[in-house]
Amino acid sequence: MTSEQIIERGRRVLRLEREALGTVEQRLGESFAAAVTMIAESNGRVIVTGVGKSGLIGRKIAATLTSTGTPAIFLHPMDSVHGDLGIVGPNDIAILLSKSGESDEMLGLLEHLQGLGVRTIGIIGEMGSALARLCNVALDAWVREEACPHDLAPTASTTAALALGDALAVALLEQKGFRREDFARLHPGGALGRRLVTRVDEVMVSAPLPVLPPGSTLRQAVVVLAEQRGIVLVTDDERTLHGVLTAGDLTRLMEREVEVLSQPVERIMTRNPRCAHSGELASAVAFRMETNGIMAMPVLDANERLVGVAHLHDLMRARVA
């Protein structure tokens, strides 16, 4: 088999799964809104369940719901009849995943859940199945064919089920007004947590600041540039920022002219520099600096007064960039 044939087989799988998602999107309707409303208005947990590959997808859906502000847990149908039904309460909502909608395990669990007063949402590949008819809400996850060449291995169908679970989680996130700060609270560890909670104030240099008053000479600026990491902030006594001068600005001028050190900083400073503001996410500041090729950026307070300077290297060391 040639490389081109292998690549084409991979593209066929991706194409079939993309087409399957497109049809699922087109069929999404009022039942989806009902499912989101049901979960949003419940004061219980979401119980997600499924068998085989659907069970693996169910675990992912439960994890996504939990990390976006909707407490959820996965319950295996077989474990449920051996004591694990004890985790289920009458205020819970159950999401049942099944391609056929006729699995004995799933229908048996549905009966037990309904006996406990649990309302149910099905993500089901056959809308004419018993499970689709018996759930309070049924979401249509039908796909024309699996990406498997024998139309057997769950591929397009599990992709469709996972996408519907993601759609539920994100719609619930927005319905509940779940914020970046809430997300950070649930993800305190690792780079993601740092990016969501670290403010520029925590990383910026606040003293000593590389400041010079208006009218200073470029000779004076050279000293500050050497001592303060290549940036000069021109400010008045009220800490109002008049402009920014970098080592690059000075270098470019000296390449054109010889006698420059006695000239005022106002000649080459940037009068309307890009600035960060106190309270901004450090990751947002780092993104702007990287996008614009800036190594250091003034930080202003709510009154547009200079309070610090953020250096890209410091942001990278803090692992927010």
pLDDT for the residue 145: 92
Interatomic CA distance for residues 58 and 84, integer angstroms: 16
pLDDT confidence bin for 126, thresholds 50/70/90 = very high
Give phi and psi for 319, each to the nearest 5: 60, 40
pLDDT confidence bin for 196, thresholds 50/70/90 = low
Q: Which SS3 state, helix, strand or coil, does residue 168 take? A: helix
pLDDT for the residue 187: 53
Strand positions, DSSP E, 125-201:
137-140
pLDDT for the residue 188: 54
What structural domains does the chain harbor?
3-178 (3.40.50.10490), 200-317 (3.10.580.10)
Strands 296-300, 306-311: pairing is antiparallel
pLDDT at 15 over 80: yes
Q: Is the pTM for the entire model greater than 0.85?
A: no
pLDDT for the residue 183: 61
Among 201-205, 210-214, 273-277, 317-321, name the one with the lowest average pLDDT.
Answer: 317-321
Structure confidence by residue, pLDDT tens digits, 148-178: 888 888 999 999 999 999 999 999 988 888 7
